[in-house]
Amino acid sequence: MSFQPALQAPAATPISQPLARAPHPLRPIMKLLSYIKQWKSAARETIARASIAAQFLSLIHITDAYICSTTLVQGPSMLPTLNYSGDVVLIEHLSHRLGKLEPGDIVVVRSPVDPKKIVAKRIVGMEGDRVTYLTEPSYSESSRTVLVPKGHVWIQGDNVYASADSRYFGAVPYGLIQGRAFLRVSISFYLVTIFSLGFCF
C-alpha cells in the first residue's frame, strides 16, 4: 500500500497595500488661485453695486441742487399763503438761473443778515422797479419809495406785521436766491415719499 504525500495549499500571496498618493506640488498654488478668482469676482460685483449707488446719489444731488428740491417753510411771515406750523413746498432751481423770475413769485433766499438761514418771501419788485412800502404797517401814511438797484430784487413776507424782509435789510442780491416755490405739498405725502426713498436704500 503506497501513501501519497499530503498536498499542501500554496502559500497565500500577501495583498499589497496601495501606496499613499503624494500631494501634487502645485495644489496649494491652485487653491490660492481659486480663492483669488472668487475674491476678484466678489470685488467686481461690489464695485459694480457701488458704481450704481454712486450714480444714483449723484443724480439725487444734481436734481436737488439744480432742478428741484423740497423745503419746510415755518413761521408767520408768509401767512396766510403758507401755514405758521409749517408747509412743505417744492422748489425749482431753474427760473432764477434763466432770469425768469417776476414780481409775485415766492422765492427761497439765503438771508443777507444770517447766511446760515434760508427764508421764503415774495418778490415785490425787480431791478429798476420803484417799490413803495409801509415803514410802519400800522400806519398807512408812513410809506417810503425805493428804486431796486441792478442785480437785486425786493422781497417781502405776505404778513407784513411779522416779517423781516427788504424793508429792514434792503434789496437782496440776485445771487442769494436759491429757487422758486411752485407747489405746496401735504405733510403726509412728504413723509410717505421720504419713507419710500429711505426704504429703497
Catalytic residues: 77, 121
Rounded to whole angstroms, the Cα distance separating 9 from 30 reads 52
Closest Cα to residue 102, out of 72, 74, 77, 123? Answer: 123
3-state helix, strand, coil in the chain (%, to 5): 35, 25, 40
Length of the chain: 201
Phi-psi domain of 11 (left: phi exceeds 0; alpha: psi -120 through 50; beta: other): beta
Comparing CA positions, the residue from 151, 176, 181 lying closest to residue 165 is 176
The residue behind cell 435789510 is 169
Residue 41's SS3 state is helix
Q: What's the grid cell of residue 84? A: 405758521
